[in-house]
């Protein structure tokens, strides 16, 4: 199963970064390039343990829906969202937040995913998504970090 990690420095304390990462509207603004929007579940405000949200977005010229649930929640250290339904065979996104010693936060995203379709999905993961997904998360994180400037 493919996995990757993205580390981002944010000039704000962990509790504030934690909150913005769980804010549905901040998430959709950070993914504006893919026309992402919340279409079901919690569509506004800050997600909490057990909450679900369904996002719809365009990637690779196709419209996709992904329903995620917050399955772990340890404020302000981290949370996990996992796909309940959507395009992946598996999607698990662990968000970690640690003080950087200077009043800011080291935000670490650890993502495990797998496409469906057996051997074809394996090729899609290795050839396409192994580059695309880290870039997508890096862009998202840059937007979120910029909300504190």
How many structural domains is the chain composed of? 1
pTM summary value: 0.95
pLDDT at 149: 83
Q: What is the dihedral of CA 18, 20, 57, 48, to 10 degrees?
A: 60
User: Residue 94 belongs to a domain with what CATH number?
Assistant: 3.30.530.20
CA distances from 120 to 29, 113, 126 (A): 32, 15, 10
List Cα–Cα distances, 34 to 6, 57, 61, 89, in angstroms: 20, 6, 9, 21
Residue span of the structural domain in which 136 resides: 3-146
- pLDDT value at residue 18: 98
Report, as an integer, the average pLDDT of 114-142. Answer: 95
56-65 long-range Cβ contacts below 8 angstroms, 24+ apart: 57/31, 58/34, 59/34, 59/132, 65/39
What is the rounded average pLDDT of the residues 123-129? 94
What's the pLDDT score for residue 22? 98
The two most distant CA atoms of the chain are separated, in Å, by 46
The whole-number pLDDT of residue 111 equals 98
């Amino acid at each position: 199963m493919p996995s990757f990690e993205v580390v981002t420095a944010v000039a704000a304390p962990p509790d504030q970064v934690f909150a913005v990462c769980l804010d549905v509207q901040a998430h959709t603004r950070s993914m504006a390039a893919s026309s992402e929007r919340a279409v079901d579940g919690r569509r506004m405000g800050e997600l909490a343990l057990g909450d679900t949200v369904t996002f719809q977005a365009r990637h690779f010229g196709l419209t996709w829906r992904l329903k995620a649930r917050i399955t772990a929640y340890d404020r302000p250290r981290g949370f996990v969202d996992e796909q309940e339904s959507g395009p992946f065979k598996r999607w698990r996104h662990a968000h970690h937040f640690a003080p950087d010693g200077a009043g800011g936060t080291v935000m670490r995203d650890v993502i495990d995913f797998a496409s469906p379709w057996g051997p074809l999905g394996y090729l899609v993961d290795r050839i396409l998504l192994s580059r695309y997904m880290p870039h997508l998360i890096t862009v998202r994180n840059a937007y979120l970090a910029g909300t504190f400037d």
